[in-house]
Amino acid sequence: MLQHWSRAIAHIWGLEGSLTQLDGEYDLNFSVATPTEQFVLKVMRPGCEQAFVDMQCLSLEHLHQQSLSAQVPVPQVITTLEGQNFTVYHDPRGKPRIVWLVSKFEGLNYAHFQPKSGVLIHQLGSYMGHMSAQLESFNHAYLKRDFKWNLMQSGWIEAELGCIENLERKEIITTIVEQFKALETDLNNLPQQCIHNDVNDYNILVQGSLNQAPYISGIIDLGDMCLAPRVCDLAIAGAYIVLDQTQPEQALAQLVAGVHSSAPLTAMEVALVWPLLRMRLAVSVVNSTLMALDNPDDPYITISQGPAWAFLQNHRMSGGLIEARLRFACGLPLNTAAKPTLAWLSEHSGAFFPLLGADIDLNQAPMVNLSVEGSSIPQDPFSIQPHEAQQLINPNLQLALGYYLEPRLVYTDKAFKNGSWPSSNRRTVHLGLDIFAPAGTALHAPLAATVEAIDNRQANLDYGGVVILRHRSPRGDEFYSLYGHLNPSSVTQLKVGQELSAGDVFAHLGEPSHNGGWDPHVHVQLALSIEGMGYDWPGAVDPDDMNLWQSVCPNPSLLLNLDHDVTQYSPPSKDHAQQVRQDHFGQNLKLSYAEPLMFLRGWRHYLFDEWGRPYLDAYNNVPHVGHAHPRVAQVAAEQLVRINTNSRYLHPSRSAFAEQVLSHMPSELSVCYFVNSGSEANELALRLARAHTGAKQIITPQHGYFGNTTGTVDISAYKFASPKARAGGLSQPDWVHLVDVADDYRGQYRRDDKAAGELYAQQVAQHIATLKANGEQLAGFIAETFPSVGGQIVPPPDYLQHVYKHVRSAGGLCIADEVQTGLGRLGDFYFGFEQQQVVPDVVVLGKPIGNGHPIGVVVTRPAIAASFAHGPEFFSTFGGSNLSCVVGTEVLRIVEDEQLMNNAQDMGKLLFAGLRKLQREHACIGDVRGFGLFVGVDLISDPDSRKPATQIADYVKNRMCEERILMGSEGPDDNVLKIRPPLTIGAEDVNHLLHMLDKVMHEVKVLTA
Ligand SMILES: Cc1ncc(COP(=O)(O)O)c(C=O)c1O
């Protein structure tokens, strides 16, 4: 058959090309590749009307005649040698078929493309806007045919509802049909024009790569064109865009905003998008249900309706709120009353009756800061304690105000969460204004009102007593005010519909026992419309939706005669922080991630940005026992108010810390030095080696990192051998000798070589031999036990045994940097050297031992300490301060008390099992290695050569960050994903990480295909 159609192409268009058959529902489609170009050959079904093809060809021509700046990527019709758009050719069975040829776009179906970002959806919308504007002037007789997919004619499904057996589903479709019927007059009043009518996810092509943002490369298949209001086109595309989106409303808003950017929509059209979208889904599912009845053996038909049913059943969003969102996305006012109402409120602000009575001037009340940055309430941002909720402000304050639009971590109830993972998005931004005053304080109506609703919401952290008042501006526009945390019995006398005059007392503030459990206050919220939310107003909203909600519920200061600028919260400026950094910090101080982050709170393995958005921290190993551990904070605070001085005085905290550290060490290592950082500890380790051996020569692995001081940079190949080393005045000192990292995945000796450890160690022996030959003497060997910046490497298990044997026989010391690997992170081992079954001469500890407080520790053998003691006094002003000692001791105790090493072991097992599963599914995961919560995922672009996939690692790390999961990348080629969370991480978090990593890896598959 392919040969037949190849001949047709040569004959009709004079083209030589190879053909591949493509999918097609009714017609035959072939991809045609000539040496220079790509086309699609369309062979229409037997009996196809010429007018149908003519309509498509002319519309494509019409679209190609538009100005370049508004060009929509639609295929170009290739005319035959005789200059026709299409012709007739007989198929192999001798049947006449209409054939035509169009240009082919590169790209993947939107259905299969990942990620489906907001920017991409907006671009699609903008093309659709252009297309509908351009098709307005296109006409063709065939557009007027009867067509079941024309939304204007979709009423046919009503007669077919009997085909849906499931009652819940039937009810959903019945409701959609009823709602659609109610809109028919509005719809019929809209002008009709030619529309594409089928911008579904298989008719949209997308291109993109790891370093090119995805873009719409084509919109194809104009075979469903018809006459209808242009909003139908948008609703149909919307019906596909929302499916399988975690945030369908946001995705739809992007599409609508995109259309509006190129073809401004009217408020009426915006209002029709959602009901029409649902009607299109209803037509789809009814149509496929009927098809399934006709084709009972084709399971694909039922499967294909799955996403549409799932959407209709699971996303019962309020049409009113979606309309508000879509209007907001288009920059349209919330409704016609919104603007005049706000203008009237601001004109009269200052003259409304004072809410707490004429004697209380709220303008004199101080603002209290309950923001992410300004408050440590609650200590645990996942669970506010009753005593915290009941004492949000200083008890000495009689009156105080809480900010409008303030991000707060106090809303810890499940009801405030928008997802199922512990660090899923949550509603943090306060949409009202709080007035803190004693329980019992009377509230007076600020202006005339009708009681709209009264309720007692008894759940913990809810409102307790709550009242909603309805007001009317002189223009007749209605707006509403809500008062929460009231004494429920104070509002029971109120009746819905009751009229209040300005100044009437209508409620009293409640006690914590009946106001939801909060410090007595009233939450005041204003709403310009209750369309879609009824009486269930969100008091706090997701930061990403804050601007939308601000348009529904503006600052109630107007009603309270308060200054808007004083009562509206503004967070610490991220831009300012970045500017100061740029202007006044060294330029080689780097920020993590493409989009810099500002974190204001931490808790366990979570971080919170300036708007309270939670992040899962799978990156930072310094907060070993978790960010902001209360026990660490407490011992530090208590020590600071007592004494914090230096190691020249005796103090029990110092001996306690030494005993704690040594309790985990082999008995041979019994002398401690306390310093302030890993760098300082490694400096000291070098001095110990030199003092004990009288030598200077050091052997160390490639790509090691030991610190930022002159001495440690000298031994850190990661620094002195980096591409920028020369510009930084760095080079390899003549007393430093490098060996390969014992990397048994990518190095010269691999995992299948039983002698790999010995062979890598042989390089140490070779250096020693050369030193001897040159009359030099070895001071020691220093290595991170498991090289971290080297790529989260786990050396062969006998590597250090062989190395230490060589080093010791040459009189050198064996120094183990356990900064990254120590203190239980490995799960199976407290220190990395235990896994290697060696006892070092000097052990260096840092980072995690202070959980964020700067501490370094060096532990050595008494004989080495004795050699060092022959030299001048050793003193580090802050090393071993009382503060550092109590913090270090507490961290080690917490590791024991909370069994964090066991947790590292358990979570490590879960993580490794999940990562290995991902490795089987994603070819770019070359290796998964590590122990416990010291994990490396080595990404490759070619399984045979194991070529490092640096770009993929960069993409994955940044996309994971967008998904609010932090991880890093490491290794000489920066291609190893580094996962090193605080040891508190839980199973749900690990599953969250794996779920997202799988999703991002799928994106990689698409973007690198
Ligand atoms: C293995 C290792 N050693 C030493 C250091 C230096 O520690 P500090 O930054 O506390 O000076 C680091 C820091 O990243 C490290 O990873």
Phi, psi of 114 (to 5 degrees): -140, 145
Rg (CA), the chain: 35
903: part of which helix (H) or strand (E)? helix 900-921
C-alpha neighbours within 13 Å on the C-beta side of residue 1008: 19
* Residue 849 to residue 952: CA distance in whole angstroms: 33
Tokens of 658: 């030494």
The whole-number pLDDT of residue 68 equals: 85
Residue in the structure block whose two tokens are 């005319």: 79
Question: Rounded to whole angstroms, how far apart are CA atoms 178 and 771?
Answer: 90
Q: Determine the number of helices (DSSP H) and then strands (DSSP E) in the chain.
A: 29, 39
Q: Which residues contact 901 (CB under 8 A, 6 or more apart)?
A: 824, 827, 830, 895, 932, 983
Contact status, residue 205 vs residue 109, Cβ threshold 8 Å? yes
Ligand 1, atom 8: closest residue by C-alpha: 678
Residue 685 Cβ contacting ligand 1 at under 6 Å:
no
Q: Is 682 in the pocket of ligand 1 (CB under 6 A)?
A: yes
Q: Is 848 in the pocket of ligand 1 (CB under 6 A)?
A: no
Determine the atom of ligand 1 nearest the C-alpha atom of 847. 10
Whether residue 75 is preceded by a cis peptide bond, meaning omega within 30 degrees of 0, is no
* Per-residue pLDDT tens over the stretch 537-578: 999 999 999 999 999 999 999 999 999 999 999 989 999 999
How far apart are the CA of 844 and the centre of ligand 1, in A?
10
Q: What share of the chain is helix, strand, coil (3-state, %, to 5)?
A: 40, 20, 40
Tokens 């190609």 sit on residue: 64
Spatial contact of 633 and 627, defined as CB atoms under 8 Å apart: no
Q: Report how far ligand 1's centroid is from the alpha carbon of 864 (Å).
A: 23
Pocket test for ligand 1, best of 847, 853, 858, 980 (most atoms within 8 A of CB): 847
Tally the residues of the chain. 1009
Residue 311 · residue 277 · CB < 8 Å? no
CA–CA distance, 605 with 779 (Å, rounded to integer): 40
How far is it, in rounded angstroms, from Cα 659 to Cα 64? Answer: 81
Task: Say what the pLDDT of residue 315 is.
Answer: 79
| Contact between 426 and 411 (Cβ < 8 Å) | yes
- Residue 758, Ramachandran bin (φ over 0: left; ψ between -120 and 50: alpha; else beta): alpha
Assigned token pair, 195: 């529309």
The letter for the amino acid at 558 is L
Closest CA to 757 of 796, 714, 814, 709: 796
Q: Is 787 in the pocket of ligand 1 (CB under 6 A)?
A: no
- Residue 767 is predicted with a pLDDT of 98
How far apart are the CA of 696 and the centre of ligand 1, in A? 22
**Tokens 């596909």 belong to which residue?**
240
- List the structure tokens of 260: 């509006």
**Distance (Å) from CA 632 to ligand 1 centroid:** 21
> Which protein residue's CA is at the shortest distance from atom 3 of ligand 1?
706
Q: Which of 820, 825, 851, 858 to mutate to test the pocket of ligand 1 (most atoms within 8 A of CB)?
A: 820
Residues 64-120 pLDDT 10s: 999 888 999 999 999 999 999 999 999 999 999 999 999 999 999 999 999 999 999
Q: Which atom of ligand 1 is nearest to the CA of 677?
A: 10
Q: Which of 589, 620, 679, 878 to mutate to test the pocket of ligand 1 (most atoms within 8 A of CB)?
A: 679
Cα dist from 775 to 771, 778, 808, whole Å: 6, 10, 17
* Cβ count within 10 A of residue 374: 18
Q: Please state, in angstroms and rounded to a whole number, the distance separating the CA atoms of residues 78 and 104.
A: 11
Q: Which residues of the chain have pLDDT under 50?
A: none
Residues 691-709 as b/e (b if ≥16 CB within 10 A, e otherwise) read bbbebbbbbbbbbbbbbeb
3-class DSSP assignment, residue 985: coil
Ligand 1 mean position to 909 CA, how many Å? 26
What is the helix (H) or strand (E) element at residue 194, kind and residue range? Answer: strand 193-195
**Spacing, Cα 785 to ligand 1 middle (Å):** 13
Report the alpha-carbon distance of residue 132 to residue 22 in Å, rounded: 28
The CA 15 to ligand 1 mean position distance, Å, reads: 65
Rounded to the nearest 5°, which phi and psi values hold at 100?
-150, 160
820 lines ligand 1 (CB under 6 A): yes
Cis peptide before 214 (omega within 30 of 0): no
Strands 367-368 and 400-402 come out as: parallel
677 lines ligand 1 (CB under 6 A): yes
* Lookup: tokens for 462: 């809810």
Residue 350 token pair: 């200052």
CA 797 to chain centre: 38
- Residue 733: Cβ within 10 Å count: 14
Q: How far apart are the C-alpha atoms of 110 and 754, rounded to whole Å?
A: 49
Give the pair of three-digit tokens for residue 636.
């530090």
Q: Are 537 and 527 in contact (CB under 8 A)?
A: yes
Cis peptide before 378 (omega within 30 of 0): yes
Q: Which two tokens stand for residue 335?
A: 């409704």
Both ends of the chain: CA-CA distance in Å? Answer: 29
Nearest atom in ligand 1 to 708's CA: 11
CB 231 within 8 A of CB 276: yes
> Residue 446 has what pLDDT?
98
In the block, which residue shows the tokens 């019409």?
62
**Which are the contacts of 759, defined by CB distance < 8 A and separation ≥ 6?**
748, 749, 753
Neighbours of 454 (CB within 10 A): 21
- Asked if residue 832 has its Cβ within 6 Å of ligand 1, the reply is no
- Ligand 1 in reach of 784 Cβ (< 6 A): yes
Q: Is the CB of 679 under 6 A from ligand 1?
A: yes
Distances (CA, A) of 849 to 624, 648, 741, 853, 919: 7, 22, 26, 8, 33
The β-bridge relationship of strands 697-701 and 736-739 is: parallel
- Give the start-end residues of each E strand in 872-980: 925-931, 934-942, 947-948, 965-966, 968-970, 976-979
* pLDDT of the residue at 532: 87
* 118-135 helix and 248-262 helix, angle to the nearest 10 degrees: 40
